[in-house]
Amino acid sequence: MNSSARSAAVGVFDSGVGGVSVLRDMAQRMPRERFLYFGDNVNAPYGTRPEPEIRDLALAAADFLASRGVKAMVVACNTATSAAIEVLRARYDMPVVGMEPALKPAAERTRTRSVGIIATPATFQGELFSNLVRRYTSDLCVLSQACPGLVDAVEAGALDTEDTAELLQTYLSPMIEAQVDQLVLGCTHYPFLRPAIEQIMGPDTCIIDPAPSIARQVALVLKQ
């Protein structure tokens, strides 16, 4: 890589503001890197759309970043990763890093043998998720809860409203009943709801946000 290619920005995209939760960790870990963020607010949420549509939207977002000369791309969206990561990797001659629901660390840490994951409906329907379940959690009780409405709440900035708290209560109650001790945030919008989630789940549940490990991975890829 010559020096002008090295100083190019890292492209990051999501359906909206969710990917900022990943950008935050990347900017902290790599303070000298430049980042170009694309949030496709017009088309959010992605997670309730059919897979081919999500793939097309992801391609359009990624093409935009590629046209701006980024040197690497981070798909800071579980839903878009699930629908399009392979197509994106085949399309560009640059590293493309995606999100992965953090079932592996959840499986390693659980004591109750009961782990929970919240994500968008499309993420649960994807092959990436079923492969991870098979690979890491086949001997555990896995509660997967699709959470339509939460992405809209985050996009609207409704982080601590009564409606959002009620929605979270509905989605998380079965997790408490099942004595889940690891809860994976499988959508990059959800870390913005972390205080509300922690309040419902209580101190005995560990909330796993994959952003720090994605930031670590991106730093490694850029070094290589």
- 129 neighbors 119 (Cβ within 8 angstroms): yes
- CA proximity to 187, closest of 49, 31, 46, 35: 46
DSSP secondary structure, 182-215, as one string? EEEE-STTGGGGHHHHHHHH-TTSEEE--HHHHH
Stretch that binds ligand DGL, among 39-47, 90-98, 170-178, 214-222 (CB under 6 A): 39-47
Closest to ligand DGL by CB, 172 vs 193, is: 193
Amino acid at 132: L
The answer to whether 191 contacts ligand DGL (rule: CB under 6 A) is: no
Question: Cα–Cα distance between 90 and 55 in angstroms, integer?
Answer: 13
77 is catalytic: yes
The answer to whether 189 contacts ligand DGL (rule: CB under 6 A) is: yes
Name the active-site residue from 141, 147, 187, 206.
Answer: 187
141 is catalytic: no
In DSSP terms, 72 is beta-bridged to 10
Task: Number of residues interacting with ligand DGL: please give it, by CB under 6 A.
Answer: 16
Minimum CB distance to ligand DGL, residue 188 (Å): 4
Chain-centre distance for alpha carbon 193 = 13
Stretch that binds ligand DGL, among 38-46, 58-66, 137-145, 211-219 (CB under 6 A): 38-46
Question: Cα–Cα distance between 8 and 69 in angstroms, integer?
Answer: 7
Which of positions 145-184 make contact with ligand DGL (CB under 6 A)?
Answer: 151
Closest to ligand DGL by CB, 110 vs 188, is: 188
The answer to whether 101 contacts ligand DGL (rule: CB under 6 A) is: no
The answer to whether 77 contacts ligand DGL (rule: CB under 6 A) is: yes
Peptide bond before residue 45 is cis, with ω within 30 degrees of 0: yes
The catalytic residues are 77, 187
Residues that bind ligand DGL (CB under 6 A): 14-15, 18, 44-47, 77-79, 120, 123, 151, 187-189
